[in-house]
């Protein structure tokens, strides 16, 4: 079950839906365009479509109620999916009746809430934007560990979201006694992960252009690809930015920068722990290696 709990905003689909709407709203995007960017449609999630549709619909409804734009169409669909009890049934079957009852109570609470006018419509938030970065997208950063070897990561992107700025670092397999050059990295790999797709292959490809290049490399098809990121906040980076040195730029193809997983590193110790035994780290977290020449614009 790809959700973390019985509450409305639990699990990846719920959080992705809710924050996609709110991020657009806080960016001063019109409600009309938000509806186009996040359409109110039923996706095909395979055998658990009704369950995931319930998650999507209830999250969508909560978000639009909070911003004062809930429509009768959305409210009617919420009532419809609640009658089907897909989530309640799945929680009962995969856990127990108590968990099913908890989900039912959360749904009933939501319906009661959104059936009434929102008298305190959420205001659009203004977040502070960082302008002077420590590093920039496509920077290749090398660093040296206690074993005296050099390693390298790629700053695939710098993300500013809801007031937090992070450097999203992609792992490379470079290891050597000398600082790497961009030519050295062409013989290396980048850590990534396959992400299951509930769509047919053509739809998957339309959502992630060029992912078929990775399908051919793995000799498997119909999955999304995402990078495995190590995120460092702008604030945390201040204390150990001098550990990194920019040795050039390497651009990962835009389509392949999708999030496949991430962890936050608040100190340089995290890099020591990960890269001192990278193969074991990749194994533990279910990550695979993909050629730099496949993922990057070279």
Mean pLDDT by 10 residues, the chain (298 residues): 76 89 90 92 78 94 97 96 92 89 95 96 89 95 97 96 92 97 96 89 92 96 94 95 97 95 94 95 94 96
Of the three residues 114, 130, 158, the one that is the final residue of a domain is 114
Q: Are residues 99 and 154 in the same domain?
A: no
Q: Are residues 98 and 161 in the same domain?
A: no
pLDDT at 163: 84
Q: Are residues 247 and 150 in the same domain?
A: yes
Considering the domain boundaries, does residue 195 fall inside one? Answer: yes
Do 11 and 3 form a contact (C-beta atoms < 8 A)? yes
For the chain, the distance separating the N- and C-terminal CA atoms, rounded to the nearest angstrom, is 39
Containing 166, the helix (H) or strand (E) segment is strand 164-176
pLDDT at 187: 95
Query: Where in the sequence is the domain holding 206, given as residue range(s)?
Result: 139-295
Considering the domain boundaries, does residue 59 fall inside one? Answer: yes
Q: Are residues 283 and 199 in the same domain?
A: yes
pLDDT at 1: 46
- Three-state DSSP at 170 gives strand
Q: Using CA atoms, how far apart are residues 288 and 223, in angstroms rounded to an integer?
A: 14
pLDDT at 127: 83
Q: Are residues 188 and 87 in the same domain?
A: no
Q: Are residues 147 and 273 in the same domain?
A: yes
Q: Using CA atoms, how far apart are residues 191 and 10, in angstroms rounded to an integer?
A: 27
**Predicted model pTM:** 0.70
Considering the domain boundaries, does residue 217 fall inside one? Answer: yes
Q: Are residues 89 and 150 in the same domain?
A: no
- Closest by CA position to 189, among listed 82, 277, 282: 282
Q: Are residues 87 and 208 in the same domain?
A: no
Cα–Cα distances (Å) from 78 to 59, 116, 178, 186, in that order, read 10, 14, 60, 51
Q: Are residues 191 and 253 in the same domain?
A: yes
Q: Are residues 93 and 144 in the same domain?
A: no
Considering the domain boundaries, does residue 5 fall inside one? Answer: no
Considering the domain boundaries, does residue 108 fall inside one? Answer: yes
Q: 80-111 burial by CB neighbour count: b if 16+ within 10 A, else e?
A: ebbeebbbbebbbeeeeeebbebbbebbeebe
**227 has which bridge partners?**
192, 259
Considering the domain boundaries, does residue 134 fall inside one? Answer: no
Q: Are residues 83 and 224 in the same domain?
A: no
């Amino acid at each position: 079950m790809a959700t973390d709990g019985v509450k409305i905003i639990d699990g990846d689909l719920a959080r992705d839906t809710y924050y996609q709407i709110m991020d657009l709203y806080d960016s001063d995007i019109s409600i009309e365009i938000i509806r186009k960017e996040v359409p109110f449609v039923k996706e095909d999630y395979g055998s658990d479509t009704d369950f995931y549709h319930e998650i999507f619909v209830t999250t969508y409804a909560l978000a639009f109620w909070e911003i004062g734009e809930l429509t009768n169409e959305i409210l009617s669909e919420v009532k419809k999916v609640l009658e089907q009890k897909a989530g309640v049934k799945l929680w009962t079957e995969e856990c127990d009746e108590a968990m099913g009852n908890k989900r039912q109570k959360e749904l009933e609470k939501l319906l009661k809430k959104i059936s009434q006018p929102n008298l305190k419509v959420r205001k659009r938030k203004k977040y502070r934007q960082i302008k002077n970065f420590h590093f920039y997208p496509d920077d290749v950063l090398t660093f040296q560990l206690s074993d005296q070897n050099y390693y390298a990561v790629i700053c695939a992107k710098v993300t500013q979201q809801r007031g937090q700025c992070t450097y999203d670092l992609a792992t490379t397999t470079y290891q050597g006694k000398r600082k790497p050059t961009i030519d050295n990295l062409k013989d290396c790999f980048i850590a990534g992960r396959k992400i299951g797709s509930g769509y047919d292959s053509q739809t998957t490809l339309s959502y992630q252009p060029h992912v078929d290049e990775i399908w051919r490399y793995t000799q498997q098809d119909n999955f999304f690809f995402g990078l495995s990121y190590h995120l460092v906040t702008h604030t945390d980076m201040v204390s150990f930015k001098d550990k990194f040195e920019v040795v050039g730029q390497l651009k990962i193809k835009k389509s392949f920068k999708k999030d496949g997983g991430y962890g936050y590193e608040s100190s340089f110790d995290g890099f020591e722990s990960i890269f001192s035994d990278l193969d074991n780290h990749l194994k533990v977290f279910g990550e695979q290696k993909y050629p730099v020449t496949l993922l990057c614009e070279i």
